[in-house]
Amino acid sequence: MINAKLNSSIIFARLVSGLIIMVYCFGHMINHSLGIISVESMDKFLEYFMIFWRAPVIYYLMPISILVHALAALFTFLHRRSMRGLTRAEITQFVLGLLLPLLLFMHISYGRVTYDMTGRLGYYTYFFDSIEKENQFTFFFIFYAIMLAMVWVHGCLGIHRWLSLKSWYNCLWLFFYTLAIMPYVTSMIGVAVGYREAVLRKFDSSWMEMVAEKTPWLNSAGLPMSPDQMKKISDDAVMPVYFKFTMAFILSVIIGVILRFIWLQIEKRQSNIEVSFSGGEKVRVSPGSTILEASRLAGISHAAICGGNGRCSTCRTRILSDPDLLIPPASEESKVLHRISAAPNIRLACQVKLHQDIQVHPLLKQANPSDGHQRPTYADGEEVDVTLLFADLRGFTQMANQRLPFDVVFILNQYFELMGEAIETSGGYLDKFIGDGIMAIFGMHSGSEIGAKQAIGAAIKMGQQLEVLNSRLEDELDRPLEIGIGLHRGNAIVGNMGYGDAMAVTAIGDTVNVASRLEGACKTLGVQLVVSAEVLQAASVDFPDVIQKDVEVRGSTKPVSVFPVENASTLKPVVVGA
């Protein structure tokens, strides 16, 4: 079992080596893109590019990075107990990762062997001229397009997975997409245009001089070798090295797969820890397995955006048995749990190693990277003192029946826009639109006092917005639109509820029901707004011109003390004690 420190070192090594390969590739693509200008500019850039990459220590950086990257990926693969739960992007990245060393080594070997044997660079002039003479452009172009796409897609997927957990990444998506696509496209164009120049200039004496000058392979008389001689020498030098590397790589993969198989069989025999899931599924795992591995073995959908690396928090799981029996979170896990303000019984499934039977409830089946960003405390369900606002258009259903659907949608959308604006600019959270009704929550972040004040402010603004809307629709409506607004404050269960794309923060509980009933009471009381005394109390305000009343509310054991306000737009709350 690798420990958390080793795990993060491997992730780090994979990331750094991957970034080095990406930087190299990016430079290479810029170099190819210069073909759009001229082959000479490609050669010039190549000289500068290689001054850097052939510098004493840096010379080994690229091959070492490829090796480290491949080994780190192989290690992660071998350590994974089950391949279930891999996303398509992860599978693509993994398969490309396995093929890449074979392709990259071939490409790099030719360049390196040429340089090591001749002390001269493999200039584009020479390269284009050779493939033109041998009529091999189509082969090289397709080979290059595929190889580059594989390296680049593999790297971009890795960088995307790494950055998608950063909250600023989404705002810069256009920049990153451009960065991912543009260099590839321009480099392909550059190669094609560069080759075309070689074809067009092949009888041009200045081109022929340039080719002779830039040919790396010279015979003993200092003259360029024939293409066949050059090919034979470079092939003789490259092929044995490439063959050995390929064999070594394939052998390590085979040995790795066999070791993994043996290890899994041993683990199976030692599987004596029972993991029970809230849905009734049970699975046995060996000591030291993580909850995430148990979920995968049991075939349970369990989000893990960062692939089990303890960074994203999307594998968060509620521990239903005693959480104190688990090994406490290490510092890395603690940091992530703190970031999402997790309750004490929430742990990261990919980090909890099991040593006794356990009952768990994975919180997210599927997730987006944004689910791993900083989250409010209530996101997993919490009782919060909030003010609820319900609003409804009076008699709108009847009016809708007499109008064309287009008119209904037009009027409703204008209404929602103005009311939504009133709620959001007052600091409320627009929970949902239900038919022509609106539900909003205030004070989830700011506390009950500010929430109550904001809700009263929103109700006043809604009254004013309704007047704006009525004057806007004067010619369209037979009579002005009327609304009823109910406000009530108290504890409600607030959390992320729903399923799949329909998952959103909402509130449930008695406070919600009472607020909804108070909105209904507007009709019986013949007013536009009904505010419960709890809201005024929390906001420390009074409505001096409004007479307090007690109303019976269905589902409530005692009457609710309320302030019925005839016209919300003219309401003037007075601060108590001012």
Q: Which residues here bind ligand FES, judged by CB under 6 A?
A: 304-306, 308-315, 348, 350
Closest contact distance (angstroms) between CB of 217 and ligand FES is 52
Closest contact distance (angstroms) between CB of 230 and ligand FES is 51
Contact 472, 403 (CB under 8 A): no
Of 234 and 314, CB closest to ligand FES: 314
Closest CA to 225 of 296, 130, 156: 130
Closest contact distance (angstroms) between CB of 340 and ligand FES is 10
Q: Would you state the structure tokens that stand for residue 302, as one six-digit string?
A: 């369990």
Closest contact distance (angstroms) between CB of 310 and ligand FES is 5
Of 4 and 212, CB closest to ligand FES: 4
Closest contact distance (angstroms) between CB of 38 and ligand FES is 48
Cα–Cα distance for residue pair 510/521, rounded to 1 Å = 16
Of 7 and 454, CB closest to ligand FES: 7
DSSP 505-544: EEEESHHHHHHHHHHHHHHHHT-SEEEEHHHHHHHTEE-T
Q: Say how far residue 534 (Cα) sits from the centre of its chain.
A: 41
Of 302 and 517, CB closest to ligand FES: 302
Contact 439, 389 (CB under 8 A): yes
Closest contact distance (angstroms) between CB of 445 and ligand FES is 25
Cα–Cα distance for residue pair 500/518, rounded to 1 Å = 32
* Burial class for 478, CB neighbours closer than 10 Å (0-12, 13-18, 19+): exposed
Closest contact distance (angstroms) between CB of 21 and ligand FES is 24
Q: Show the 3-state SS of 260-291.
A: HHHHHHHHHHCCCEEEEECCCCEEEECCCCEH
Closest contact distance (angstroms) between CB of 314 and ligand FES is 5
Angle, CA 14 vertex, CA 9 and CA 18 arms, to 5° = 150
Of 358 and 530, CB closest to ligand FES: 358
Q: Which helix (H) or strand (E) holds 407?
A: helix 405-425
Of 89 and 408, CB closest to ligand FES: 89
Of 201 and 302, CB closest to ligand FES: 302
Cα separation values, 108 from 72, 101, 145, 216, Å: 21, 10, 16, 16
DSSP 157-194: HHHHHHHTTSTTTGGGHHHHHHHHHHHHHHHHHHHHHH
Of 22 and 315, CB closest to ligand FES: 315
DSSP 554-577: TT-SSPEEEEEES-GGG---EETT
Of 304 and 538, CB closest to ligand FES: 304
Most distant CA pair in the chain: distance in Å? 111
Of 306 and 560, CB closest to ligand FES: 306
Contact 562, 518 (CB under 8 A): yes
Pairing of strands 316-319, 358-362: antiparallel
Of 87 and 537, CB closest to ligand FES: 87
DSSP 434-480: ETTEEEEEE-TTT-HHHHHHHHHHHHHHHHHHHHHHHHHTTTT-SS-
- Beta-carbon contacts of 15 under 8 Å, excluding residues fewer than 6 positions away, are 158, 162
Closest contact distance (angstroms) between CB of 165 and ligand FES is 8
Pairing of strands 529-532, 483-497: parallel
Amino acid type, 326 = L
Closest contact distance (angstroms) between CB of 169 and ligand FES is 16
Closest contact distance (angstroms) between CB of 11 and ligand FES is 11
Of 350 and 379, CB closest to ligand FES: 350
Closest contact distance (angstroms) between CB of 290 and ligand FES is 9
